[in-house]
Structure 1
Amino acid sequence: MVSYRCGEYSYMIWWTHLDMDSFFASVEIASRPYYKDSPLAVGGNEYSRTVVASASYKAREYGIKSGMPLYEALNRCPHLVIVNPDIEKYISISKDIFGLVENLAGNILPYSIDECFFYSKSKDDIISKSLYIKRIIKEKFKITASCGIADKKIVAKIASDEKKPDGFFVVEDSLKYIREKDVGDVPGIGRKLKKKLNSLGIYYVKQIDDIPFTILRKHFKQYSYFLKEIATLKISDNIFVYDEVKSVGNTHTFEKDTFKKEEILSYISIISQHMEQRLLEDFFEGNKLTVTFRYSNFQTFTKQKKLERYIYSSEEIFDESSKIFDSVNLVMPLRLVGVSLGGIRKRGVYGSLPFFENEKDCRLKECLNSIKREFGESSIIKLRDLYVSDRKIKGRRIINRTGDLV
């Protein structure tokens, strides 16, 4: 149990993580009850070049999931019902649900459009409130929500996935529970990190303790502290603040200050490819491009351009960054160059995906990125990148959020 101290009083905190089940699809089915027993996906129409934003549980029986290209979903289930997304409706219903939660629970910590936390000092109180809130959401909005309850936020979030949909799961012993979980179940441990942990023989959270901290530090650097905190559950509950991504980017510091246009453009190209990988993984796109320049005397300036369309592919990022670079008159050699994409939103929810011109292009893109994930970024390179022999980015990875990870 976690104890919090405020002044001369100490008290226990119990958390509920409330997660609406297949939110977008559930909202659409609630407004079209005749589709209740049909596989349904939100994500445009069969002629659009988009991805599945949300899939009903009936659709998931066919292996359809969020982020899947629509053509693949239709191949798996030809009779799939496809509904165009209505983001304004989802936001409106989300606000109504969060308002209800705040009124009934007395507090709320939004995490995303369909997830939130609330808390209580009493275990019995949090259980009764959670059950009541679930019931009211089901009655009023005709959708289901799953709840995970624990004395640690991160454990409550994991627990909400235990019995979906319409799930309810209470964790009595948070430390015992999380130590038995697969490392991939832990928020913050993605596919790449899980693969690296598995390569060290770490498959379950409890096995993290079997690895000396010096080895963890060598392989995971600053992230090693997070891993140890997870294994011992000595982790701050501030880890889950609302963290909507604002921008994604990279900087690169040159080995030697340079005036050479080809070298600068080569690294802008490499940075663009790094950015594309992260944007693809999280299904993000953006429309505000910023290029950062730092001279050899450390004087730094930026050039920004708001684009008429949303982009995420490396080619588009590179093309627009090159235009910005061409507009700059360098007065001395550069020490550093950086590119970041802002105005971030979820890709595929608002419209078609311009990069995937057809199924062939989509499969090619998936194949190339699969090779890069397996064999490294430099396993496939563009002709223009051959100008530089060292293609490693030596700089800062940029992911700006509305909240800070503690």
Structure 2
Amino acid sequence: MRKIIHVDMDCFYAAVEMRDNAELRNIPLAIGGSEKRRGVISTCNYIARKFGVRSAMATAHAKKLCPNLTVIRGDMNKYKAVSRQIRAIFERYTDKIEPLSLDEAYLDVSDCSLFRGSATMIAEDIRRAIKTELGLTASAGVAPVKFIAKVASDINKPDGIHVVTPPDVDEFVKRLPLEKIPGVGKVTLGKLHEMGLYVGEDVQQFEKNALLQRFGKFGQSLWNRCHGVDDRHVETERVRKSVGVERTLPEDIQSEAQCLEVMASLYEEMEQRLRRVCPEMEIARQGVKLKFSDFQQTTVEHRQWRYDEKMFPDLLKEALERQQGRGVRLIGLNVGLKAEDKNGPSQLSFNW
């Protein structure tokens, strides 16, 4: 058994801005793009969330829900600098750190001797250090497996902690709403509900083969999660799987020629990003993403062993076959990188 901590900063970008500017602390605040350029919300503070404002929401819609919402553009360089400070705090406790983004990470503290090896006390000390040294709050989940730690970190947000000890795992997953399991989206949740499955215990009592027939590989993952099984290790070196660039347009466009013009403006940035992570430009697939005026999106990808800019127009043509008269509001380019086999760390003894 392992001791896994999932640390998730509370409304990270907004929290940094509120810390640095007292005028922003007691008002509904969001970080995102302008509604005039059809921007979206990256994150918002908890005052704004009371009005229904959420991440990935169109800024224009967010302002309808919260007319007094203050929206500012983010400062990624500042957030990256703060993220490095948070990482430095993590490194006091373990070198087994798997960052998921600038504001969240898994930590394997199984062999940390501080606080007599208590993962709960280690998590609390991490949260204390972040608050006293950086003026920010973090929530944490503590569990013997990764996905439960991640779910647990959301239970007592903001500025809270939830611990699931090994003896508590079975009861925890039995009562766990399926929508809380990472990977269960709205469409999948609807299908599960149609099958009479709402919480982990429902899946435990369901016929496994029927679940596999309906959902394939995901059905096996869901079965494992609902039995408290997650063999994934904390990966100290995450393998990047894709590189992409996209642009949301100020106004919808319709024609292939217009799309080609926008797409051409993305080529240089796409190539620069790819060369930073894959100088040899050897890839696994190449694709084009379109988001239409009704917010539905489509992606066309083809297998490709080497990056070729000249492929994108043909991929675009294929994607536009699904346009059905709708305007195009977003165009994206992406490539999938070749997978690399990695051996995870060996499991370590567990002592709560």
TM-score between both structures, scaled by the size of structure 1 = 0.61
Q: What's the CA shift for 1:101?
A: 0.9
Residues 97 and 235 of structure 2 are in contact (CA less than 8 Å); yes or no, is this contact kept in structure 1? no
- For 2:196, give the aligned amino acid: G
In structure 1, stretches of 5+ residues that fail to align are 3-12, 249-271, 294-300, 307-317, 326-337, 340-377, 384-397
Q: What's the CA shift for 1:209?
A: 2.1
Partner of 1:395: none
1:44 aligns with 2:33: yes
Secondary structure class of the residue paired with 1:143: coil
Quote the Cα distance in structure 2 between the aligned partners of 1:167 and 1:281. Answer: 35
State which of 145, 152, 160 in structure 1 corresponds to 2:138: 145
State which of 182, 185, 190 in structure 1 corresponds to 2:185: 190
Map of 1:351-390 to 2, 5 A cutoff? 382=324
Cα distance change of structure 1 residues 216 and 304 upon mapping to structure 2, 3 Å threshold:
same
Quote the Cα distance in structure 2 between the aligned partners of 1:282 and 1:382. Answer: 11
1:246 aligns with 2:242: yes
Larger gyration radius, structure 1 or structure 2: 1
Quote the Cα distance in structure 2 between the aligned partners of 1:183 and 1:232. Answer: 12
Partner of 2:216: 221
Q: What's the CA shift for 1:87?
A: 1.3
Residues 34 and 40 of structure 2 are in contact (CA less than 8 Å); yes or no, is this contact kept in structure 1? no
Residues 291 and 303 of structure 1 are in contact (CA less than 8 Å); yes or no, is this contact kept in structure 2? no
Partner of 1:163: 156
Secondary structure class of the residue paired with 2:118: helix
Partner of 1:120: 109
Q: What's the CA shift for 1:127?
A: 1.7
Cα distance change of structure 1 residues 115 and 281 upon mapping to structure 2, 3 Å threshold:
farther
Cα distance change of structure 1 residues 401 and 53 upon mapping to structure 2, 3 Å threshold:
farther
For residues 68-106 of structure 1, give each alpha carbon's deviation from its aligned partner in whole angstroms, at most 9, with x where no partner exists: 111111111121111111112111211211121112345
Q: What's the CA shift for 1:48?
A: 3.1
Secondary structure class of the residue paired with 1:47: helix
- For 1:69, give the aligned amino acid: A
Partner of 1:85: 74
Q: What's the CA shift for 1:137?
A: 0.8
Quote the Cα distance in structure 2 between the aligned partners of 1:382 and 1:273. Answer: 20
Residues 33 and 71 of structure 2 are in contact (CA less than 8 Å); yes or no, is this contact kept in structure 1? yes
Secondary structure class of the residue paired with 1:130: helix
Cα distance change of structure 1 residues 204 and 399 upon mapping to structure 2, 3 Å threshold:
farther
Quote the Cα distance in structure 2 between the aligned partners of 1:403 and 1:101. Answer: 27
For residues 301-320 of structure 1, give each alpha carbon's deviation from its aligned partner in whole angstroms, at most 9, with x where no partner exists: 766219xxxxxxxxxxx9x4
Secondary structure class of the residue paired with 2:37: coil
Secondary structure class of the residue paired with 1:53: strand
Range moving further from structure 2, 67-76 or 222-231: 222-231
Residues 301 and 315 of structure 2 are in contact (CA less than 8 Å); yes or no, is this contact kept in structure 1? no
Secondary structure class of the residue paired with 1:149: strand
In structure 2, stretches of 5+ residues that fail to align are 245-285, 326-334, 345-352
Residues 41 and 83 of structure 1 are in contact (CA less than 8 Å); yes or no, is this contact kept in structure 2? yes
Which portions of structure 1, spanning 4 or more consecutive aligned residues, are displaced by more than 4 angstroms? 239-245, 272-277, 280-285, 289-293, 398-406
Residues 290 and 297 of structure 2 are in contact (CA less than 8 Å); yes or no, is this contact kept in structure 1? no
Q: What's the CA shift for 1:33?
A: 2.2
For residues 314-354 of structure 1, give each alpha carbon's deviation from its aligned partner in whole angstroms, at most 9, with x where no partner exists: xxxx9x433888xxxxxxxxxxxx99xxxxxxxxxxxxxxx
Cα distance change of structure 1 residues 33 and 221 upon mapping to structure 2, 3 Å threshold:
same
For residues 206-239 of structure 1, give each alpha carbon's deviation from its aligned partner in whole angstroms, at most 9, with x where no partner exists: 1112221221121011222112211222321338
Secondary structure class of the residue paired with 2:107: strand
Quote the Cα distance in structure 2 between the aligned partners of 1:382 and 1:282. Answer: 11
Q: What's the CA shift for 1:401?
A: 8.7
- For 1:305, give the aligned amino acid: E
Residues 13 and 79 of structure 2 are in contact (CA less than 8 Å); yes or no, is this contact kept in structure 1? yes
Residues 44 and 50 of structure 1 are in contact (CA less than 8 Å); yes or no, is this contact kept in structure 2? yes
Partner of 2:279: none
Quote the Cα distance in structure 2 between the aligned partners of 1:323 and 1:157. Answer: 37
1:15 aligns with 2:8: no
Cα distance change of structure 1 residues 78 and 402 upon mapping to structure 2, 3 Å threshold:
farther
Cα distance change of structure 1 residues 240 and 284 upon mapping to structure 2, 3 Å threshold:
farther
State which of 298, 304, 313 in structure 2 corresponds to 1:321: 313
Q: What's the CA shift for 1:281?
A: 9.2
Residues 244 and 401 of structure 1 are in contact (CA less than 8 Å); yes or no, is this contact kept in structure 2? no
Quote the Cα distance in structure 1 between the aligned partners of 2:145 and 2:216. Answer: 25
Residues 288 and 315 of structure 2 are in contact (CA less than 8 Å); yes or no, is this contact kept in structure 1? no
For residues 281-315 of structure 1, give each alpha carbon's deviation from its aligned partner in whole angstroms, at most 9, with x where no partner exists: 99999xxx97547xxxxxxx766219xxxxxxxxx
Q: What's the CA shift for 1:110?
A: 1.5
Range moving further from structure 2, 65-74 or 221-230: 221-230
Secondary structure class of the residue paired with 2:60: helix
State which of 300, 304, 308 in structure 2 corresponds to 1:304: 308
Secondary structure class of the residue paired with 1:232: coil
Quote the Cα distance in structure 2 between the aligned partners of 1:38 and 1:292. Answer: 49
TM-score between both structures, scaled by the size of structure 2 = 0.69
Quote the Cα distance in structure 2 between the aligned partners of 1:90 and 1:247. Answer: 21
Cα distance change of structure 1 residues 234 and 47 upon mapping to structure 2, 3 Å threshold:
closer
- Across the aligned residues of Structure 1 and Structure 2, the Cα RMSD in angstroms comes to 3.9
